[in-house]
Amino acid sequence: MKLRYSPTSPFARKVRLVAIETGLDGGLALERANPWAADTDLPKDNPLCKVPALVTDGGEALYDSPVICAYLDSLHQGRPLIPAAGAERWRQLRLEALADGILDAAVAVRVETAMRPEDKRWPHWVERQQTAIARGLDALDEDCADWGDAFLIGQIAVVAALGYLDFRTIVDWRGSRPALAAWFERLAARPSVAATVPTE
């Protein structure tokens, strides 16, 4: 299998975390791709021209990150990272959606503030995304007391989201969210988390 990724992409980090946590990382070749490069051939594997994209051993391309994570989770014999049924399944999938939504907003802020020409920026749009991020973080701070030691698809997505907020200094989120900050701090030494810290 081949994962087309970028080391800065939080969505690709989510997939890499899943690969390590499921023990599938040894069979996963990592290939860097830059979706913003004019000459990239990424659209042959993802017509949306986004990372991550996975090319299976059968040569089929899969995207986006929730689909790739679900595919990887179907390939191993250990405890599923996406619970098969029951309330915990829907809690985990909702948590993944919340973390991914925070990331969508964070990437939008990044594009608006770091990439869009200054005279074309729209401050109201950035404020709207920042409000969504803040509300999402408040929900995570409330929720994390119930997580215990779980490190399933939802918590994996949260690690990718918080790591990206720090990496791109999108928001100083720890101050009013001590429970979430402590949870994230505890996870920093976990091998999969340490091995996937974003880099340029």
Ligand X SMILES: N[C@@H](CCC(=O)N[C@@H](CS)C(=O)NCC(=O)O)C(=O)O
- What CA dihedral angle connects 49, 61, 155 and 196, to 10 degrees? -70
The two three-digit tokens of residue 8, written as one number: 């800065």
Burial group, residue 16, by CB count within 10 angstroms (0-12, 13-18, 19+): buried
Nearest approach in angstroms of CB 157 to ligand X is: 9
Nearest approach in angstroms of CB 63 to ligand X is: 6
Nearest residue to the partner ligand X, using Cβ: 64
Nearest approach in angstroms of CB 33 to ligand X is: 8
The nearer residue to ligand X, 38 or 87, going by C-beta atoms, is 38
Nearest approach in angstroms of CB 148 to ligand X is: 26
Q: What H or E segment, with its residue span, contains residue 30?
A: strand 29-32
The nearer residue to ligand X, 43 or 178, going by C-beta atoms, is 43
Structural contact between residues 51 and 58, judged by C-beta atoms closer than 8 angstroms:
no
Nearest approach in angstroms of CB 53 to ligand X is: 8
Question: What letter represents residue 180's amino acid?
Answer: L
The nearer residue to ligand X, 64 or 112, going by C-beta atoms, is 64
Residues in CB range of 44: below 8 A, 6 or more apart = 61
The nearer residue to ligand X, 7 or 80, going by C-beta atoms, is 7
The nearer residue to ligand X, 49 or 70, going by C-beta atoms, is 49
3-state secondary structure at position 51: coil
The nearer residue to ligand X, 104 or 179, going by C-beta atoms, is 104
Which residues contact ligand X (rule: CB under 6 A)?
9-11, 35, 49-52, 64-65, 100, 107
Q: What H or E segment, with its residue span, contains residue 3?
A: strand 2-5
Nearest approach in angstroms of CB 94 to ligand X is: 15
3-state secondary structure at position 55: strand
